[in-house]
Amino acid sequence: MISQLIDRDAVFPHNFVMIKPRFLVFLAFMLIFASSTGQAGGGSLAGSEWGLGDGDDRFVKFGAHGKVSGHAGCNRFFTSYQQNGTKLKVAGIATTRKLCSGPAMKREREWLGLLKRVRAIDLTHLKLILYGSKRTRLAVLKRRDFD
């Protein structure tokens, strides 16, 4: 008796059934798009800090306006960088002049040499892969400033 008083088309319009599948398809595309943001690419390095991890104190910090600083194992270093998508170029590097033991200085020279050879990157939120010429992998860095 009550069902006769309710206009079913007013409560459940015919196009309601069509909205639901469209919404689900839209939602599926949005979820796929949102999950793809963690893929490697050339996001901005500005404001990020990266290191080798595993207790290694060497790191590089990419600041705003193309500035770079970090610790090379013995001395601090300063330079600038230019990033265009996945391409990266680090300019000449200046360091402090602290003298350390032979192994520490060797590690420092290796780190600074590596940074000078970088030509390209792949970047995710927690990982930065550095490439040299001909896309040779130079290093895989871990994000240090992630909370």
Q: 35-64 pLDDT, tens per residue?
A: 434 445 668 999 999 999 888 999 999 998
Position 31 scores a pLDDT of 46
This prediction's pTM: 0.69
Q: Given pLDDT bands bounded at 50, 70 and 90, which one contains residue 34?
A: very low
In this prediction, residues 74-102 reach a mean pLDDT of 94
Position 95 scores a pLDDT of 96
CA distance 82 to 8: 64
Report the amino acid identity of residue 31: L
Point out which residues pair with 82 in neighbouring strands.
89
In this prediction, residues 82-109 reach a mean pLDDT of 93
Position 108 scores a pLDDT of 95
Average pLDDT, the chain: 82
- Please tell me the total number of residues recorded for the chain in this structure: 147
Of residues 42 and 5, the one with the higher pLDDT is 42
Task: Check pLDDT > 90 for residue 2.
Answer: no
Burial class (CB in 10 A: 0-12, 13-18, 19+), 112: buried
Of residues 2 and 68, the one with the higher pLDDT is 68
CA distance 140 to 101: 26
Main-chain phi, psi angles of 94, to 5 degrees? -105, 145
DSSP assigned state of 21: H
If DSSP codes are grouped into helix, strand and coil, which group holds residue 6?
coil
If DSSP codes are grouped into helix, strand and coil, which group holds residue 127?
strand
